[in-house]
Structure 1
Amino acid sequence: MKFLFTTFLLSLQFLCISTYAQNKYELNSGWKCSPIAKVKEDGSAISIPSYSLSSWIPAVVPGTVLTTMLENKQIPDPFFGMNNEKIPDIFKTGPDYYTYWFVKDFNETVKAGEQVWLHFRGVNYSFDIYLNGKKLNKKRHSGMFLRQSYNITSSLLKTGSNRLAVIVFPPDALGNANGGQGGDGTIAKNVAHQYVAGWDWIQPIRDRNTGIWDKVLIEKTGKINIKNPHIITLVPGQRKPDGAQKPATIKTTAELENPTDAPLKGVLQYVLDGKKISKEVTLKPKSTTEIALPDLKLENPKLWWPSGYGAQYLYNLKMQFLVNGTVSDEENINVGIREIQADWNSITRSKQISVNGQRVFIKGGNWIISDAMLRFTDARYDAEVRFHRDMNLNLLRIWGGALTERPEFYQACDKYGILVMQDFWGSGDCNGRWLDPMKKDDQWVRRNYPDDHGLFLESAADQIKMIRNYPSLAIWCGGNEITLPVDIMLPLRDTILPKLDGTRWFIDYSNSDDMSFNSLGGNGDGPYGIQPLKRFFEYKTWPFNSEIGSVGVGDYESLERFLPKENMIAPVYSEKTGKETVDSVWNYHKYIGYESYVGPYGKVKDLRDFGKKAQLINYDQYRSLMEGFSAHMWDWYTGVIIWKTQNPWTALRGQMYDYYLDPNACLYGLHNGSAPLHVMYNQADSTVMITNNTFKHQYDMMLNITAVDMNGKEKSLGQVFVEIGPSTARVILSIKNEIRELSKKEGMFLSLRLSTVKKEILSDNLYWLPDAEGAYSGLNKMPKADIDVQVRQSEKGKVEVTLSNPAKNPVAFFNRLALVDPKTKKRILPVFYDDNYVSVLPGEKKTVVMDYSQTAGELPLVSIDGWNVTEQFIPLK
């Protein structure tokens, strides 16, 4: 199925923030490939430009063998239905089946004084390289997370027509995908990602993502090449986002490579905010030298802050090396001036994170990977990180069973103000924390995975250098739910990180006592399924919970994208057995059950009805999750990280939007419950509370508490002026008796609002509460709400939709807005909404702004479909 998000052009925004100088370009098209079984010649012959490639097929680079096979229609889409079962698994075929040659012809010549470099940013798992008949590497390269660079100046042909040939071998340990977490666990013998052998949220990736999975680049320099520049920003004291700032200090180093046979003298310099810092150096021949530049004291700097707390200002730093006044090489780096601190909160007994001296309550999500088959794009990274900003989250944790994220991901996090906790590559499941009969090796053997500890440390050092300059990167983590082997962890913690970074907190593993003292027993994370709403408020979990989550099934429109028609069947819950009957394809896509939680909304009629009711549950689950943690910030908790907020394939669990970038109600429940200034209803004790996740004291706010029945009749439960200090949660009053009385018959709506003295709304929160039996009986009896919908295009790519509900109507409840194709009525993806699943009280109006990438052609329609509002499609004006 083709979706309109393929035309999404957000990648253009990244052209202005690339860390590459203009002397680099990517080899990302025109590749050809062939399985080794069809190739008799060796690399020396294949890499001669005259060698015929007529029988070879087009290859996807960056990409994997599977992405190439999919592009050439050799396999079905593994994300649809049961198609993944139709693709041969490498454990059964053997490695040769997915061992491929990749060839690229390119034009490049060398001028006098130039050096030409070939860079590989990621290959899985091992490979040999040939250029114009010559092998470039003396020893086969291994390791998914180790960049490789070659000076190819002398290997280029004078005609300018060159051929690069790369043979890529699968991981050494293929891993038996036997249904366990990481299959039989042996996938962790490699220095690579582990989820490819299958997990409880994904089926196995059949080629284990073998291929040239990340960028291949050509770089041209003068005689000196700048490598791995390192920028450290020091922001002493406690700062505020507004007003004049005391100075910040910029500390800078860079590696300078001199590949020539003679010593070279020159000047290393950079310019930031109009200030130039320079140093004259002499570089020995055939050497790489790290040079430290003098510190820059930057007056009145513009600081970088996490989302919700301040702006994300980025300076451009231009670094150059000059020989006799001529630029030999140049690198452009975006610099966010900020400082990360981590200290112990003795009340919660957990770490708390501060930025620029101000503690930040962490509201995070667990991120797996953008695409399970490693099809990464700037546009998709931008869209996904933007969704997390729109959820009012401020951190993403990169889970240890995946990979070190790509620079483009961090660029998006820098842009949107999302802090990052980066795990290294280990997991409790594969690396031996638990006794597991699904694993091939016992715990003692698995505790020593991977096989090559030296390769792990070399790869870690390289990846640290690759991403350490991004201001969003806040925390390093040794592994997921387990420490790395001691002879990896100690050198990493005590030597490599202090030398190569030294500015960020390193936590030994994701639920370590050093992060969150686990006085409650258990593994220190979870639970992962649906929970009673009051539990989020009254049950004290771990004080910095690295993994806790709930359900996440999309609606009918989402499900039909990857479920065959015959499997579009709603789960059926039995009160008698207490179990759900679930379609087999749903189980294959890792469905987590809604069980008895759908029943209170009435008997499910069909799948469309199930999807609509599931969204009510989704919204409530994630709103209450974040409200419950925020209600106890700084006394019970210093942070929470949701497991998980996105899926890299078409799974039926733990996601705020689906694989196709279509948001569900989870996203907007979080958007509401995570708002920086938020009024809320405590589901456990029926108090009204306010949380303030900003650095500002909020004064003179009017709190309005209103009960609304199913016919739209309103009753005031209180009106009072309130104030709240910065980074604080406080109880305002209890409405327990009023709620019990008003909701007992058929449930009710509870409207909570904070407004300024000018009656501008600061926080708006509407709850639907059950009757005395715990059922939402009134919702199924609600009269229809005939509302007025006005739409207009305010500017290119922006649409405003205003919903007006007449005074004597009932609440216009839970309206899902979308932009759709005028011919097919299918949703345009992605679209970013400033709110969705919105409700409008009688006599009021609400405006929603939609942001999308507008293309040439017919304008989309606006669709609206509510609980008691008839579906309609409205053309743009």
Structure 2
Amino acid sequence: MKKNRGQFSIICALLFCYSSLQAQDQYELNTGWQCANIAKVTDKGEALSDPTHTLTGWMPATVPGTVLTTLLNNKEVPDPFYGMNNEKIPDIFHTGNDHYTYWFVKDFEEAQPTADGQVWLNFRGVNYSSDIFLNGKKVNPETHHGMFLRQTYNITSLLAKDGHNRLAVIIYPAPFAGNPNGGQGGDGTIAKNVAHQYTAGWDWIQPIRDRNTGIWDKVTIERTGVVNVKNPHVITLVPGVRKPQGVQAPATIQVGAELENTSGESISGTLKYSLDGKTAVSQKVTLAPHATTTVKLPDYTLQKPRLWWPNGYGPQAMYKLQLQFVTAANTISDKEDVEVGVREIQTSWNAVTGSRQIAVNGQKIFIKGGNWIISDAMLRFSKARYDAEVRFHRDMNLNLIRIWGGALTERPEFYEACDKYGMLVFQDFWFSGDCNGRWVDPMKKEDQATRRKYPDDHGLAIRSVADQVKMIRNYASLALYCGGNEIVPPADILKAMKDSILPSLDGTRYFFDYSNSDSMSHNTLGGNGDGPYGIQSLATFWSHRTFPFNSEIGSVGVGDYASLERFIPKENMIPPVYNGSKKPMTEDSVWHYHKYIGYDEYIDPYGKAKDAKDFANKAQLVNYDQYRGLMEGFSAHMWEWYTGVIIWKTQNPWTAMRGQMYDYYLDPNACLYGLHNGSEPLHAMYNPIDGIVMVANNTFAAYNNLQLEIQTVDMNGRSEMLREIPVEIKATTTKKFAALKDDIDAKRKGQGTFLRLRLLDAHKKIVSENFYWLPDEKGNYSGLQQMAAANVQVTAKRAAKDSITVTLSNPANGPVAFFNRVAVVDAKTKERILPAFYNDNYVSVMPGEKKTVTISYPSANSNVAIELYGWNVKEQYLSVQ
């Protein structure tokens, strides 16, 4: 959250020109690091951190990064995300911790400040323990422990007089690596640490061999005056029921911060802040010597505020707030920049559904969410990757991301992206029922009662929770806290969270004890309060009432062939075979290693897969249908059965073959676009079980002048308009408009049929279009298997430097051009440009019509082409005009 939340480039000459008259400065130490395993280092930290000490045989280190990332970047280990390579890397459980215990050294230039200037060394995340040395002196009096506890040290007195400094840090792995025995979190003992648990293996990932040991998050140098402004706290209050449009009634802004006086004297000055460049509030304060004081400024009434709304409901307006401490001599000692979204999150109990209901600015929000593990299993985070991944969630028409408890508190850059794209965040803390003793489990080393007491150091866990709350509490997107995944933390940790930490450090967000607790969703149906996780009949989503606010429900997610080629060797490109419900599935060893989850009998209705490419293409049809059906089924019963649903899961931090709308390499598959369709804010949909055509309105606007078109199309392209119905629908509701089961079942006989639903506004503009392919009366897609080729005409035009429009025109008197995948590729290599964002994909075009797909891609590559293929459209590459 420091300094505009970004990285600053610092010209070396300026490093020697510090003045207390300057505003605060900060830069990142992210290049030039070296490292060595402790077995190769005989010197101690005091010697290693001496700038004149010679380092021999050390290798370049990746910081931020883990030991395994550094080894990979130096080609010391193979890529653990490819094939079976992970099996070739020594596991810390078998080697012992010393194998992954490393020294990291960094030389940097920073002059001793003049006057009352102070210089700070900040570590945003180390896993697991560390001792820190600077210029021959130990920085931290005691060894630091804990993955989720930031470190800040005043290094002013330790800086070298000539400005040439050396930092040496030894990183020790977590004391309990855990046995990666195939269980969820291995043998469970990894949860004895205050760290993430997935690195010992889960049902969607193989073990991370070093358990992510390293300086895994940013290291920064920060300059301030005598007073350091720390952990600003901004609360926005938006009373009443608001709408996105029109002039808003006032909102209240509450701001506070911690002020650290580094001097031995009392300091007087003014704490003030500006909002969008205009001074809002100021207050004179006096700070005791060598003390940190929390100061709360008077409330500020913001007139005509621009409000922040979740995706699909309104814009994501943001304000720039700058908080300053100005000394009595009228110099800025320190400042903090915070982006503020003005909004208020409320929750209430919905007695009809029996579940928690979320509101923003007084308006109830039907939660359409995705579960998030982590951006990269080896913690290779970047602002650009976070932005792309959250943008994909925006493009799925979701409005919430849940951070699963076996991972971590996400990084500030993640929340920045969620603020930008309107994604509410449901933040679990780092406890999971699999390791922390919810169930008796023969894979676990210790008994259930013992595991319920994990982690070993409760005080460290409590301090870490408090610190992480301070780090993320200002983000508009952060909506909910949760004690843990499928279990509460130990009683004393839970009590500290509920009674002390969250009320005093935040106080504005609802806290769930655990992710499927009764406070979230009354579990009147038995079971664990979440799931199922495998492929489902569409009837399940539409007709089976599940948990009213489901924190985890999922399905399949294999990517297309281009995706599989990135991590499966050619010799292992063997499609899995479903052998019936009473026989085991046949699958290749690499597919199994990468956690393939069965598509069961759902591929064969399209025709048995001839090879891996054919399997992957047909899997996309299933993917699209599954996730469209999932969200449609929940939306059909919003406020009646459900207040929300959170899909397990929407992304993969590893090259797994389940639960993903896009692959690890940021290549979307049909899951994303099925969800994009089924989750659109205003949506016409067909219940394949009872034949009801409905409209879901997930907006705050009522509509009274729409027209619903219901049209069937046969395999030869002949269409029939079944109904044209005027539509009136209230805000945030679902309404039934036609019962057409008999009519549509008659059309399905023999070969199956296509069904198109369109909503048109008063100007005949399409506001929703939904295209179904329905099987014949035996449940097979016999007509699709016999479709004639469509002679599609395709053009690709550059709309901007990083934007292309692709238009597909399907001539009249032919079949539907069905299920077309568009991709932007390198013109020479034909490899896809990643990431790329499509306003729609896997599109079908009716005879005599055309459809345009808009592509944007943040790439410097201008020599691009367009790849296109479809069910009955030949694969082709087109140049961009």
Asked if Structure 1 and Structure 2 have the same fold, meaning a TM-score greater than 0.5 normalized by the shorter chain, the answer is yes
Aligned-partner Cα distance in 2 for 1:616–1:579:
24
Match of 1:104 among 101, 106, 126: 106
TM superposition shift of 1:495: 1.0
Instruction: Label 1:677 to 1:15 Cα distance change in 2 as closer, same or farther (>3 A).
Output: farther
SS at match of 1:329: strand
TM superposition shift of 1:578: 4.5
* Cα pair 1:19 1:331 within 8 Å, conserved: no
* Cα pair 1:556 1:608 within 8 Å, conserved: yes
Match of 1:243 among 241, 246, 257: 246
Counterpart residue number, 2:514:
509
TM superposition shift of 1:576: 8.5
Q: Is 1:305 aligned to residue 295 of structure 2?
A: no
Match of 1:863 among 853, 858, 867: 867
The one-letter code matched in structure 1 to 2:52 is S
Aligned-partner Cα distance in 2 for 1:446–1:573:
38
Q: Is 1:617 aligned to residue 622 of structure 2?
A: yes
TM superposition shift of 1:861: 0.5
The one-letter code matched in structure 2 to 1:310 is G
The one-letter code matched in structure 2 to 1:445 is T
Aligned-partner Cα distance in 2 for 1:565–1:787:
32
Aligned-partner Cα distance in 1 for 2:3–2:588:
45
Aligned-partner Cα distance in 2 for 1:351–1:614:
35
Give the TM-score normalised by structure 2.
0.97
Aligned-partner Cα distance in 2 for 1:350–1:729:
18
* Cα pair 1:270 1:319 within 8 Å, conserved: yes
Counterpart residue number, 2:79:
77
TM superposition shift of 1:535: 1.4
Aligned-partner Cα distance in 2 for 1:52–1:727:
68
Counterpart residue number, 1:872:
876
Counterpart residue number, 1:489:
494
Match of 1:809 among 802, 811, 814: 814
- Residue deviations 1:184-243 (CA, integer Å, cap 9, x gap): 000000000000000000000000000000000100001110000000000000000000
Counterpart residue number, 1:828:
833
Aligned-partner Cα distance in 2 for 1:24–1:134:
23
Aligned-partner Cα distance in 2 for 1:792–1:141:
56
Instruction: Label 1:15 to 1:777 Cα distance change in 2 as closer, same or farther (>3 A).
Output: farther
Q: Is 1:352 aligned to residue 357 of structure 2?
A: yes
TM superposition shift of 1:603: 1.6
* Cα pair 1:578 1:595 within 8 Å, conserved: no
Aligned-partner Cα distance in 1 for 2:149–2:351:
40
Aligned-partner Cα distance in 2 for 1:840–1:302:
40
Counterpart residue number, 2:552:
547
SS at match of 2:234: strand
SS at match of 1:628: helix
* Cα pair 1:743 1:769 within 8 Å, conserved: yes
The one-letter code matched in structure 1 to 2:476 is P
Aligned-partner Cα distance in 2 for 1:603–1:158:
74
The one-letter code matched in structure 2 to 1:57 is M
TM superposition shift of 1:276: 2.4
Aligned-partner Cα distance in 2 for 1:339–1:15:
25
Counterpart residue number, 1:683:
688
Structure 1, unmatched stretches of 5+, are 1-13
Aligned-partner Cα distance in 2 for 1:573–1:121:
47
TM superposition shift of 1:19: 9.6
Structure 2, unmatched stretches of 5+, are 9-22
TM superposition shift of 1:494: 1.1
The one-letter code matched in structure 1 to 2:281 is I
TM superposition shift of 1:174: 1.1
* Cα pair 1:479 1:509 within 8 Å, conserved: yes
Cα-Cα RMSD: 1.1
Instruction: Label 1:16 to 1:657 Cα distance change in 2 as closer, same or farther (>3 A).
Output: same
SS at match of 2:782: coil
* Cα pair 1:535 1:684 within 8 Å, conserved: no
Counterpart residue number, 1:68:
70
Match of 1:33 among 32, 35, 39: 35
Aligned-partner Cα distance in 2 for 1:592–1:854:
33
Q: Is 1:699 aligned to residue 704 of structure 2?
A: yes
* Cα pair 2:24 2:224 within 8 Å, conserved: no
Give the TM-score normalised by structure 1.
0.98
Q: Is 1:115 aligned to residue 118 of structure 2?
A: yes
Counterpart residue number, 1:186:
189
Q: Is 1:818 aligned to residue 817 of structure 2?
A: no
Counterpart residue number, 1:419:
424
The one-letter code matched in structure 1 to 2:269 is G
SS at match of 2:585: strand
Counterpart residue number, 1:169:
172
Counterpart residue number, 2:20:
none
Instruction: Label 1:503 to 1:577 Cα distance change in 2 as closer, same or farther (>3 A).
Output: closer
Aligned-partner Cα distance in 2 for 1:81–1:315:
46
- Residue deviations 1:612-645 (CA, integer Å, cap 9, x gap): 1000000000000000000000010000000000
Match of 1:454 among 456, 459, 471: 459
Counterpart residue number, 2:94:
92
TM superposition shift of 1:527: 0.2
TM superposition shift of 1:137: 1.1
* Cα pair 1:272 1:316 within 8 Å, conserved: yes
* Cα pair 2:833 2:859 within 8 Å, conserved: no
* Cα pair 2:24 2:334 within 8 Å, conserved: no
Aligned-partner Cα distance in 2 for 1:349–1:471:
27
* Cα pair 1:787 1:804 within 8 Å, conserved: yes
TM superposition shift of 1:809: 1.3
* Cα pair 2:866 2:877 within 8 Å, conserved: yes
- Residue deviations 1:428-464 (CA, integer Å, cap 9, x gap): 1000000000000000100000000000000000000
SS at match of 1:820: strand
TM superposition shift of 1:595: 1.4
Aligned-partner Cα distance in 2 for 1:689–1:369:
36
The one-letter code matched in structure 1 to 2:872 is N
SS at match of 2:708: strand
Counterpart residue number, 2:318:
314
* Cα pair 1:19 1:333 within 8 Å, conserved: no
Aligned-partner Cα distance in 1 for 2:442–2:630:
34
* Cα pair 1:862 1:875 within 8 Å, conserved: yes
Q: Is 1:518 aligned to residue 520 of structure 2?
A: no
The one-letter code matched in structure 1 to 2:123 is F
TM superposition shift of 1:138: 1.3
SS at match of 1:784: coil
The 5-angstrom pairing of residues 749-760 of structure 1 reads 749-760=754-765
TM superposition shift of 1:275: 3.8
Match of 1:440 among 426, 441, 445: 445
* Cα pair 1:403 1:424 within 8 Å, conserved: yes
Match of 2:477 among 460, 463, 472: 472
The one-letter code matched in structure 1 to 2:772 is Y
Instruction: Label 1:576 to 1:160 Cα distance change in 2 as closer, same or farther (>3 A).
Output: closer
TM superposition shift of 1:825: 1.0
Counterpart residue number, 2:237:
234
- Residue deviations 1:560-607 (CA, integer Å, cap 9, x gap): 100011101111222495542100110100000011110100121111
SS at match of 2:470: helix
Match of 1:158 among 136, 153, 161: 161
Aligned-partner Cα distance in 1 for 2:228–2:575:
60
Aligned-partner Cα distance in 2 for 1:758–1:872:
36
SS at match of 1:800: strand
TM superposition shift of 1:113: 1.8
* Cα pair 2:130 2:144 within 8 Å, conserved: yes
* Cα pair 1:19 1:332 within 8 Å, conserved: no
Aligned-partner Cα distance in 2 for 1:385–1:667:
12
TM superposition shift of 1:18: 3.7
Counterpart residue number, 1:670:
675
Match of 1:54 among 53, 56, 59: 56
* Cα pair 1:366 1:399 within 8 Å, conserved: yes
Aligned residues: 863
The 5-angstrom pairing of residues 743-754 of structure 1 reads 743-754=748-759
Counterpart residue number, 2:646:
641
* Cα pair 1:340 1:354 within 8 Å, conserved: yes
Aligned-partner Cα distance in 1 for 2:859–2:399:
28
SS at match of 2:851: strand
* Cα pair 2:269 2:285 within 8 Å, conserved: yes
The 5-angstrom pairing of residues 181-330 of structure 1 reads 181-273=184-276, 274-323=278-327, 324-330=329-335
Moved more, 19-28 or 119-128: 19-28
